[in-house]
Amino acid sequence: MINNLIYMDGYGIFVWSSFVLTFLVCAVFYYKTRKTLKKYEKEFAIEIEKLSVERKKIALEKSKVASKVFSTYNKTF
């Protein structure tokens, strides 16, 4: 029963290799996207740091994204 699932009448090598390749490509895309996101979050947090206190407070109050990025930036760096 298990052998039939693995071999799939001789097509198993193609099916399983396509699954492995698909998961590897998805993992690489996830890693690259996450790395790029972290880079942009860091740049954004640095820009927020450069603002005056009043403008920073206004930006953080109005934007959930800005406050989340800024809080994450302060925790990790």
**Tens of pLDDT along 5-49?**
889 989 999 999 999 999 999 999 999 999 999 999 889 888 888
Predicted structure pTM score: 0.69
Cβ contacts of residue 3 below 8 Å, gap of 6+?
Answer: none
Residue 75 has pLDDT above 50, yes or no: yes
In 3D space, the residue among 11, 60, 26 whose CA is nearest the CA of residue 71 turns out to be 60
- Each domain of the chain, given as residue ranges in start order, spans 2-76
Does residue 37 contact residue 65 with C-beta atoms inside 8 Å?
A: no
> Cα separation of 31 and 28, whole Å?
5
